[in-house]
Amino acid sequence: MKVVIIGGVAGGAACATRLRRLDESLDITIIERGEHLSFANCGLPYYIGNEIKERDHLFVATKSLFEKRFKINVLNNTNATAINRDRKTVTVDDGSKQYEVAYDKLILSPGAKSFVPDLFADKAGVFTLRNVPDADRIVAYIKQKQVKKAVVIGGGFIGLEVIENLKRLDIETTLVEMSNQVLAPLDFEMSQYVHKELNDNGISLRLNHHITALEYKDNGSMLLTLDDGQILESDIVILSIGIRPESSLAVDSNLEVNARGYIVTNDKMQTSDKDIYALGDAVEVIEPILGGKTTIALAGPAAKQARVVCADIVSGDYSYRGTFGASIAKVFNMQASSVGLNEKQLKNSNINYECVLLHSPSHASYYPDSSPINFKLIYDKDSKKILGAQAVGIDGCDKRIEIVSAYMAKDGTIDDLAWHEQVYAPPYGSAKDEINFAGFVAQNIEDNLVKQCYVHDVKSLCEQGAIFLDVRTQAEFDVRSYPNSVHIDLNTLRDNLDKLDKNKTIIITCAVGLRGYIGARILQEHGFNKVYNLAGGLQSLFMANYKVK
375-426 tens-digit pLDDT:
999 999 999 999 999 999 999 999 999 999 999 999 999 999 999 999 999 9
Bridge pairing between strands 79-84 and 89-93: antiparallel
User: How does strand 149-153 pair with strand 283-287?
Assistant: unpaired
Rg of the chain taking only CA atoms, in angstroms: 27
Query: Is the C-alpha dihedral spanning 265, 267, 272, 277 positive or negative?
Result: positive
| Cβ atoms of 252 and 177 closer than 8 Å | no
Of these residues, 15, 42, 397, 453, which one is catalytic?
42
Integer Cα distance of 278 and 265 in angstroms: 7
Which phi and psi angles does 525 have, rounded to 5°?
-65, -20
C-alpha–C-alpha distance, residues 163 and 528, integer Å? 50
Q: Is the pLDDT of residue 8 over 90?
A: no
- What does the pLDDT read at residue 41? 87
The SS3 assignment for 45 reads helix
> How many angstroms from the chain centroid is the CA of residue 532?
31
Q: What are phi and psi of 454, to 5 degrees?
A: -115, 165
Mean pLDDT rounded to a whole number for the chain: 96
Counting residues of the chain whose pLDDT is more than 90, the rounded percentage is: 95
C-beta atoms surrounding 432 within 10 Å:
12
Phi, psi at 273, each rounded to 5°:
-105, 120
List 91's β-bridge partners, or say none: 82, 100
Q: Is the dihedral of CA 272, 276, 282, 283 positive or negative?
A: positive
Is the pLDDT at 317 greater than 90? The verdict is: no
* Under 8 Å between Cβ of 34 and 133: yes
> Band of the pLDDT at 348, cuts 50, 70, 90?
confident
Q: Percentage of the chain surpassing pLDDT 70?
A: 100
DSSP state of 535: T
Mean pLDDT calculated for residue range 301-321: 93
Q: Is the pLDDT of residue 40 over 90?
A: no
d(C-alpha 419, C-alpha 222), whole Å: 57
Q: Tell me whether residue 146 is exposed, middle or buried, using C-beta atoms within 10 angstroms of its C-beta: 0 to 12, 13 to 18, 19 or more.
A: exposed
Angle between helices 9-22 and 299-314 (to 10 degrees): 30
Q: Looking at residues 119-145, what average pLDDT do you find?
A: 97
Residue of 352, 380, 375 whose CA lies nearest to 438: 375
Query: What is the predicted pLDDT for the residue at 9?
Result: 82
**Is 80 exceeded by the pLDDT of residue 316?**
no
Reference 279, options 252, 254, 312, 253; nearest CA is 312
What is the pLDDT averaged over residues 17-39?
94
Specify the pTM.
Answer: 0.96
Q: Are 416 and 409 in contact (CB under 8 A)?
A: no
Residue scoring higher pLDDT (34 or 480):
480
How confident is the model over 206-225, as a mean pLDDT? 97
CA 256, 260, 266: angle at the middle one, nearest 5? 40
Residue 547: predicted pLDDT = 98
- Has 42 been annotated as catalytic? yes
DSSP letter, residue 495? G
Within its chain, how far is the Cα of 71 from the centroid? 36
pLDDT band at 530 (very low <50, low <70, confident <90, very high): very high
> What's phi and psi for 480, nearest 5 deg?
-165, 135
Q: Would you tell me the crossing angle of helices 397-409 and 434-446 to the nearest 10 degrees?
A: 50
Give the contacts of 10 (CB within 8 A, at least 6 positions apart): 38, 280, 299, 302, 303, 306
Beta bridge partners of 93: 79, 98
* Residue 277 pLDDT class (50, 70, 90 cuts): very high
Contact 5, 14 (CB under 8 A): no
Decide if pLDDT at 488 tops 90: yes
